[in-house]
Chains A and B, each alone.
Chain A
Amino acid sequence: MKVVFTPGADDIGTLVLSNPPRNTLEEPRFAERAQLEKVLNHPGQKALILQGDGRHFSHGADPERLRAQLRTPAFQQELDRGKELLALIAEAPIPVLALVRGGCLGAGLEIALCCHFRFAASSSLFGFPEVELGLIPGFGGPLFLDGVATRRAAVDLLLSGRMIGAAEAHGLGIVDRVCPAAALEQNAREYLRELVGKRTLLQVRAVMESLNNARRLPLAEALRRETELFMKVARGE
């Protein structure tokens, strides 16, 4: 897989996961860390759309390849490196929206789940097929599902391995908005433009940083940092 970045004229960039037709991940490290950091911190960029190349978002790992990889001693480390990329997206300095068409399965779904928003075409499909291979999702799925879907829905999806359509995914809270495939990208762009268009880059980054602090810092420290960020924004520093 390669990832292809296109800066947007409207401060909203696009990052494409590209390994058509199904955009499968050959390695857990689906992008170079430095490249992803650069994309997320692209000058002036206030939001990012993450999507698959062509008809699908991503079908995740290629099962045959995964079986072989599982036998190599370094695979656990590779998996951790891949998860570092997910953490970069999850704690991005700007909102990241996953634009989902077609299949969004396994590690593909885990990538979508670490984004802040998911907009899906009505024909898209979601699921964790890992259990069918005698495995479990190993790319943060169980963790990222928590707080997005109810625990009951999470257990159901993770253990049954069943595939669900966009409407059900929306009902479970996994998808924020469902629209016809033809209107999907325009919908997402309009939504993000509405969200960040009138905000300064400083505001967007300060809000995102504070939200990230809420996840990783003790409460008192996160609160203290919020005040600092507020003063920076107020002074326009």
Chain B
Amino acid sequence: MGSEGRPSPAFPGVAPHSGEGELRLVVEPDGGIARLVLDAPPRNEMGRDFFGRLDALVGTLKDLPARGLVVHGAGRHFSSGADVGALKAGLVDAQPVLDGQALLAATRCFQALAELPYPTVAAVGGCCLGSGLELALACRWRVAAANAVFALPETTFDLMPGCGGTVRLPLLAGRGRAVELLLSGRLVDAAEALEIGLVDAVVGRRELLDAARRLVERVAA
């Protein structure tokens, strides 16, 4: 069993779930498969604290003696990404919440995740949008529940993806498909995501976490 919700003595840097932490690391004893849980239900939106929390966890993740890492959302959804309203307001404030430096730091966090020395699998159920999808793209593999939907809708909000989406999407889905998905911002369901290479497997909703764990076991073997 995991040490969910409690501080792990082996990892003093990992704070217990505060109730509004937005991001929670659940480690298993004996180098099992750890879980990074996006925890701001219902949509697990990436609020202002999310990236700070991820940044704080990156060092711990790097040294984690884990067999692998499964990244998933609490409840039905993976993540609806950043709050676009707050993001845009932040960009035009005199003292912006998000400036180029903050965004770069966020991108570096995702890159650190991409470079972890053990297998990483995003287990995606429900919505996986914007920076939520960019997080999933930074994982080595993606397993989707049949109800998953994906999109990088940033261009429909007069923006563009800023955390690796435009760089990682074409590597998986090809150039033409990436142009189409980025400029249209349209939703892709699980079946299409599998067809275009965005995800590696589609499973039933109830089997999602087990399937992600099995994938870690298989590639870590």
Could you tell me if B167 and A207 are in contact, using CB atoms closer than 8 angstroms?
no
CB of B158 within 8 A of chain A? Answer: yes
B-contacting residues, A205-237, CB 8 Å: 206-208, 210-211, 213-215, 219-220, 222-224, 226-231, 233-235
Residues of chain A within 8 A (CB-CB) of B182 are 207, 211
| Residues of A bordering B, CB below 8 Å | 95, 116-117, 147-148, 176, 194-196, 198-200, 203-204, 206-208, 210-211, 213-215, 219-220, 222-224, 226-231, 233-235
Could you tell me if B166 and A211 are in contact, using CB atoms closer than 8 angstroms?
yes
**In-complex Cβ contact of B155 among A203, A220, A224, A226 (8 A):** A203
CA distance A208 to B155 in the complex (A): 12
Could you tell me if B174 and A147 are in contact, using CB atoms closer than 8 angstroms?
yes
Residues of chain B within 8 A (CB-CB) of A206 are 160
A231-B103, A235-B91 given as contacts; is B160 within 8 A of A210 (CB)? yes
Could you tell me if A116 and B91 are in contact, using CB atoms closer than 8 angstroms?
no
| Minimum C-beta distance from A170 to chain B (A) | 13
A210-B160, A215-B170, A231-B100 given as contacts; is B107 within 8 A of A226 (CB)? yes
A-contacting residues, B142-169, CB 8 Å: 155-156, 158-168
CB of B8 within 8 A of chain A? Answer: no
| Minimum C-beta distance from A45 to chain B (A) | 14
Could you tell me if A203 and B167 are in contact, using CB atoms closer than 8 angstroms?
no
Residues of chain A within 8 A (CB-CB) of B168 are 214
A208-B179, A211-B179 given as contacts; is B161 within 8 A of A230 (CB)? yes
